[in-house]
Amino acid sequence: MKEIKAFIRQHRIANVLQTLRDLKAADISYHNITVSQVQRPLASEDPAQQHYSLDLAEAVVSEYKLDLVCTDEVADELIGAITTAAHTGLPDAGWIFVSEVTKAIEIR
Task: Count Cα atoms within 13 angstroms, Cβ side, for 12.
Answer: 23
* Alpha carbon distance 64, 53 (integer Å): 16
Q: 46, 43, 35: which is closest to 60 by C-alpha?
A: 43
Residue type, 27: D
* Alpha carbon distance 63, 8 (integer Å): 6
What is the chain's pLDDT, residue by residue, as a tens digit (108 residues)? 999 999 999 889 999 999 999 998 888 889 889 999 988 776 666 666 676 655 656 777 789 999 999 999 999 999 999 999 999 888 778 899 999 999 989 899
* Alpha carbon distance 83, 88 (integer Å): 10
Quick check: pTM over 0.75? yes
